Amino acid sequence: MTRSPLFLLLLVFSVYADHGPFKLCIPLKHYDDCVKMMEDGKTVNVPVKCVSARDRYDCMGKLEGHQADFEAVDPEDMYNIATNGKDEMNVIKEIRTKEEPNAEFRYEAVAVVHKDLNVKNIKEGLKGLRSCHTGVGRNVGYKIPLTKLTQMGIIPPMDDPNLSPREQELKALSTLFSKACLVGTWSPYAEANKRLKATYKNLCELCEHPEKCDYPDQNSGYEGALRCLATGGQIAWTKVIFVKKFFGMPYGSQPAKQSEHDPKNYAYLCPDGTKKPVTGAPCTWAARPWQGYVATKQLSNEYKELRDAISKLNNLGESKHADWITTVLLLSDKTLAVDNKILSPLEYLKKSQYYDVIGRDVVNPSRQTRFCVTSDKEMEKCVELKTVAFSRDIRPKLGCVQKKSAAECMQAVKDKQAEVFVADAQEAVLAQQKYNMKPLLIEVYGNEKKQELVAVIKKGSTYKDLASLKGKKACLVQNGKSGFNAILKYLVDKKLISNSHCPYEKAMSEFFASIQQSNDPVECMVFGQGDVAFVPYSALHNTEKGDVEVLCSDGSRKPTSQAQSCGLVTVPPRMVMVRSDMPEVHLDEVRYSVLSSGKMFSEHPDYFLMFGDFKGEANLMFSNHATGLEAIVDVVPSFEEYKKLVQDLAICNA
């Protein structure tokens, strides 16, 4: 019996109606874009509901708890699902390139050599070669060869306790190869980066600019590694599609082109030591899987409808040139969503031999940078940060230790039970004085390495200046004792409190009717616990505060967006504290792992929200309003000033 178009359309509606909208989990950063996609989706009858989460790791929990149905992910996110016992999800669709829509993997890692290179066996054949790499820390040119060569015993065990994990990797490559080109940032700490490149300079000798050994360099990247091979190198680590491009061979939908390099002179070097012509099928060392979409197994009977919905959104987003196609679906005009064989995340990663590349921890014994925290919520955040950082190749891996108080954490660092404690200025003073600690890293706030406290009041209040706050309720937000001391100093300097009025704690309690400590900017005042809140102006940058404004020292008022011009007093940044006698190798490790985490997650808060609310609480481990971390090269001026302030207050309080 012939079915009418209307019947078929109603049938499609009924399939979607049985399920209701598919619930897509999206990191908070991109929630507004998801809502726009949801509205646009209605025009093509695709029912999608956006479920907001803190980040992709939080989305994983929402899928597990059946609060959401699917999310867009990287292979690293799949690794976290696979390693955390989350056996409730499948990879249901891949994000492939239009250039290679039928390729099984995003790219395949290969080693290319001159065809006449004499390699009797793989274990001996690589020793002393001139090696060309895409760049430090990259997949095919660094992580994959390091992982596989270590597993094969070609790189000996990395067990030197006097070298950091990154330096041990660099030393291993420097020892294995006579010369190389390995550009990039070898350490996020500039001094360490400079030292490493001087120590292992043979790893830069094949580069276009050996003295810089950084991007841009014509002998770096996928094609650059092959150019390096053609102009003096003996082995290049790259991916298959660029071999085809470099030698002018056809690939995907692209026809053959002219090349100045003859592919007949080159071969793939296989992991078993054999060689294959580059004109034929490659032998790969590992492959990077495609990005894709994971969905709950609970939805397995409706995977077809969900796949169709994703494809419709793909087509709609591309036709509208919508931003949400990238921010929400991880697609672009060069990619498309393709159905794949449904696999668990673990099966999906192992199929490409990429699971062990993400999980590589080649240094023996394994190293850790352990944070000491003081609350259950901080511990939860630390564990999640540790998990996501490991999947994103941050080594040494992070660790977490919980104690009952800041003092116990400082003692734990002193006793080598932990490596770092993140402290406010007052805690940092105590750490230096009593626990033999020093600051190694600081938070940064935009371009600032200090925090300016401002006075935030409700609109409509009658305060004319700071003096009119006498007898009112104050909220000290996030800064604890350091905020208290800084405001006290300001009141003394402005002669609102006599400099002979000792002890100062009593003087403060007499100036303000009450002083509340709060962990959440402005909230203390908004909910009636205070009349004024003293907060870092940078904490107001990304918040809507229509009902409050800033009271300046001259009595004027300004919106929170202009708070910077009304700073009252400086408070030092939060600091990452370590033992003063920590060996240089361990200082390198802390700098590397913690700075790398700060850079990664400030740039990609959708991976993990390191600087922001965590499960309803602000300023856990790090300040919500911090924009990253920075190494201390000499001293922190604002901290030195604060220490003098503490000394002055101590004299009065004695």
Mean pLDDT of 529-546: 75
Residue 550 in contact with residue 563, Cβ under 8 Å?
yes
Q: Judge if 50 and 61 occupy the same domain.
A: yes
- The structure tokens listed for 33 are 């874009």
**pLDDT value at residue 10:** 42
Is 280 found in the same domain as 154? yes
Q: How far is the CA of 123 from the CAs of 148, 273, 354, 440, in angstroms?
A: 12, 8, 22, 41
Q: Stretch 334-338: mean pLDDT, rounded?
A: 97
Cα 650 to chain centroid distance, Å, stands at 41
Q: How confident is the model at residue 307 (pLDDT cuts 50, 70, 90)?
A: very high
At residue 358 the predicted structure's pLDDT band, cuts being 50, 70 and 90, is: very high
Q: Which domain-ending residue is among 244, 271, 287? A: 287
Residues 6+ apart with CB under 8 A from 347: none
**Same domain flag for 160 and 279:** yes
Indicate whether 3 belongs to any domain: no
Q: Is the pLDDT of residue 241 over 90?
A: yes
Please tell me whether residues 145 and 51 are part of one structural domain. no
pLDDT surpassing 80 at residue 106: yes
651 within domain boundaries: no
Determine contact, residues 442/573, Cβ cutoff 8 Å.
yes
Dist CA 328 CA 606 (whole Å): 11
Split at pLDDT 50, 70, 90, the class of 519 is low
Token representation of residue 306: 């969900």
Helix and strand counts by DSSP (H, E) for the chain? 22, 26
Span 19-77, pLDDT tens digits? 569 999 999 999 999 999 999 999 999 999 999 999 999 999 999 999 999 999 999 99
Q: Are residues 196 and 242 in the same domain?
A: yes
Residue 141 structure tokens = 């040119």
Whether residue 423 is predicted with pLDDT greater than 80 in this model: the reply is yes
Q: Which of 599, 247, 227 is nearest to 392 (CA)?
A: 599
Q: What share of the chain in percent tops pLDDT 90?
A: 73
Residues that constitute the known binding site for hydrogencarbonate: 134, 138, 141, 483
Whole-number pLDDT of residue 478: 55
> What's the distance, CA 390 to chain centroid?
10
Q: What is the overall mean pLDDT for the chain? A: 91
Q: In 321-479, which residue ranges form alpha helices assigned H by DSSP?
A: 324-327, 345-351, 355-358, 376-391, 406-414, 425-435
CB 205 within 8 A of CB 233: no
* pLDDT band, very low/low/confident/very high, at 541 (cuts 50, 70, 90): low
How is residue 183 written in tokens? Answer: 């550009």
Identify whether 595 is part of a domain.
yes
* Among candidate residues 235, 264, 287, the one where a domain is terminated: 287
Please report, in range form, the residues annotated as the binding site for Fe(3+): 74, 107, 222, 424
Q: In this structure, are residues 277 and 267 in contact, taking their beta carbons and an 8 Å threshold?
A: yes
Question: CB-based contacts of 327: which residues, under 8 Å, 6+ apart?
Answer: 30, 33
The verdict on 459 and 562 lying in the same domain is yes
Whether 649 is in a domain gets the answer no
CA distance linking residue 451 with residue 572, whole number of Å: 6
- Domains of the chain: total: 4
pLDDT tops 70 at residue 343: yes
What pLDDT is stored for residue 251 in this prediction?
83
Q: Which one of 306, 323, 357 terminates a domain?
A: 357
Is the domain of 468 the same as that of 416? no
Residue whose structure tokens are 């994703």 = 310
SS3 570: strand
Whether 265 shows a pLDDT value over 50: the answer reads yes
CA distances from 492 to 125, 484, 500, 504 (A): 74, 12, 9, 9
CA dihedral 58→62→65→71, nearest 10 degrees, is -120
Asked whether 303 and 92 are in contact (CB, 8 A), the reply is yes
Give a yes or no: residue 326 inside a domain.
yes
Q: Does one domain contain both 138 and 254?
A: yes
State residue 515's pLDDT score: 86
Query: Confidence class of residue 256 from pLDDT cuts 50, 70 and 90?
Result: confident
Alpha-carbon span 476 to 453, nearest angstrom: 10
- pLDDT greater than 80 at residue 8: no
Q: Is the pLDDT of residue 471 over 50?
A: yes
**Which residue from 86, 29, 519, 118 is spatially nearest to 345, judged by alpha carbons?**
86
Cβ neighbour number for residue 590 with a 10 Å cutoff:
22
Q: How far is Cα 175 from Cα 331, in angstroms, rounded to an integer?
A: 41
pLDDT of 2: 46
Q: How many residues does the chain have?
A: 654
| Spatial contact of 327 and 605, defined as CB atoms under 8 Å apart | no
Question: Strands 286-288 and 107-114, how do they pair?
Answer: antiparallel
Mean pLDDT of all residues in 504-511 = 83
pLDDT band per the 50, 70, 90 thresholds, residue 479 = low
3-state SS, 43-94, equals CCCCCEEEEEECCHHHHHHHHHCCCCCEEEECHHHHHHHHHCCCCCEEEEEE
Task: Please say if the pLDDT value at position 176 is more than 70.
Answer: yes
CA distance 522 to 540: 9
Structure tokens at 70: 């699917």
Q: Are residues 508 and 566 in the same domain?
A: yes
Q: What is the pLDDT of residue 7?
A: 43
Report, as an integer, the average pLDDT of 639-648: 88
In whole angstroms, what is the distance from residue 570 CA to residue 463 CA? Answer: 23
512, 471 contact by CB (below 8 A): yes
Range of the domain at 381: 368-447+573-634
Judged against a pLDDT cut of 80, whether residue 481 lies above it is answered with no
Which whole-number Å values give the CA distances from 115 to 197, 217, 229, 649, in the listed order? Answer: 31, 26, 12, 76
187, 321, 437, 632 from 581: Cα distances, Å: 22, 56, 8, 16
The Cα 474–Cα 534 span in angstroms is: 8
**647 lies in a domain?**
no
In this structure, what DSSP letter does residue 103 have? Answer: -
Alpha helices in 555-613 (DSSP H): 584-603
Give residue 254's pLDDT. 81
**Tens digit of each residue's pLDDT (9 = 90 or more) over 145-169:** 999 999 999 999 999 999 999 999 9
Average pLDDT of 595-615? 97
H helical segments located in 521-634: 523-526, 584-603
Task: Give the pLDDT of residue 79.
Answer: 97
Annotated binding-site ranges = 74, 107, 134, 138, 141, 222, 424, 483
462 and 508 inside one domain: yes
If you search the block for the tokens 């800033």, which residue do you land on?
550
Interhelix angle for 406-414 vs 425-435, to 10°? 40
- Are 407 and 302 found together in one domain? no
Confirm whether 626 is domain-assigned: yes
Residue-level pLDDT at 451: 85
For residue 492, the SS3 value is helix
* Cα–Cα distance measured from residue 121 to residue 569, given in angstroms and rounded to the nearest whole number: 68
pTM: 0.90
- pLDDT for the residue 19: 57
- Among 125-129, 321-325, 455-459, where is mean pLDDT lowest? 455-459
Alpha helices in 117-179 (DSSP H): 122-125, 144-151, 165-176
Q: Is the pLDDT of residue 380 over 90?
A: yes
Using the predicted structure, report yes or no on whether residue 485 has a pLDDT greater than 90. Answer: no
Most confident of 212-221, 531-540, 644-653: 212-221
Domain for residue 251, yes or no? Answer: yes
Is the alpha carbon torsion for 321, 324, 329, 330 positive or negative?
positive
pLDDT at 125 over 80: yes
Q: Is the pLDDT of residue 513 over 70?
A: yes
Report the share of the chain in percent with pLDDT over 70: 93
Do residue 251 and residue 141 come from a single domain? yes
* Confidence band for 11, pLDDT divided at 50, 70 and 90: very low
Residue 361: what pLDDT?
87
CATH code, 38: 3.40.190.10
CA-CA-CA-CA torsion sign (278, 283, 288, 290) = positive
Neighbours of 217 (CB within 10 A): 21
Residue pLDDT, tens place only, 111-124: 999 999 998 889 88
Residue pair 446/480 in contact by the 8 Å Cβ criterion: no
Taking residues 67-88, what's their average pLDDT?
Answer: 93
